[in-house]
Amino acid sequence: MNLKLEQLFEAKVQDKVALITGASSGIGLTVAKKLAAKGAHVLLVARTQETLEQVQAEIEAAGGKATIFPCDLNDMAAIDAVSEKILASVEHIDFLINNAGRSIRRAVHESVDRFHDFERTMQLNYFGAVRLVLNVLPQMMNRRDGHIINISSIGVLANATRFSAYVASKAALDAFSRCLSAEVHSHKIAITSVYMPLVRTPMIAPTKIYNYVPTLSPEQAADLVAYAIVKRPKKVATTLGRLASITYSIAPGINNKLMSIGFNLFPSSSASVGKQDKLNFAQRAYARLFPGEHW
């Protein structure tokens, strides 16, 4: 992030309150630290209290302000309970960053006996995020101010193979957000979707082939969120994400063919278990041609 954007970001978040889900690792952790370093009070939501306490201690040791709220975002009643605690603990929430998510890498034909994969992915990535929005939204509407940022995926724009459960859940949140955006526009509430490319976080660690493909660092991912906070756009995407979206809009057959090539080039997760071998020439070339895409 350049110096000017960094300065604008600090001005935007200083003394503000930011609620971040999935804040104990990966993108959420890095975003929380970035916000806290610029003077925001970060409200950290994740499942494990001990991990949250460690993150809180790190932020406070660096001079930041953090409050933790352990919660299983798969549990709707738990979300309601933690929302009540959060809203009682602060005067208002300026930013809600829906970052918590679950990803499953498995082709549809390998999932015919695993309907639960689709259910649990939708439960966390869509229903959990929507439930939290419903709880926070009235306060934002009363204040006529607020910004909801949803961490989506480049796969929504590119129709990533092997990620049908994950992409569908993010696409559902996208559609919800587009409808909501028009409804709250007059209340001066911004809704932004960040179509995040592949980021080197614990979420992708089990897929060993990702050790050899281009990814963003968590810091680069946090910069995309910072850009969203400063500019308040409807969407934030990488160049590849924008190109994939345009390609699918005007030439869906080409998009389908390119995704099919990638699907056949890379093995399924079950076929690559325990293999640390580097990618072959064709795989390396393809990964470089489509940096940040999920395969």
Q: Which residues carry out catalysis? A: 166
Contact 262, 292 (CB under 8 A): no
Please give the Cα distance from 271 to 85 (Å, whole number): 45
Please give the Cα distance from 110 to 86 (Å, whole number): 41
Instruction: Find the farthest-apart pair of alpha carbons in the chain and give their distance in angstroms, rounded.
Output: 57
Residue 276's alpha-carbon distances to 165, 166, 219, in angstroms, are 26, 25, 26
Residue 206 φ then ψ, to 5°: -65, -25
Name residues whose C-beta falls within 8 Å of residue 283's C-beta, 6 or more positions apart in sequence. 209, 212, 265, 266
Eight-class DSSP state of 104:
-
Name residues whose C-beta falls within 8 Å of residue 108's C-beta, 6 or more positions apart in sequence. 164
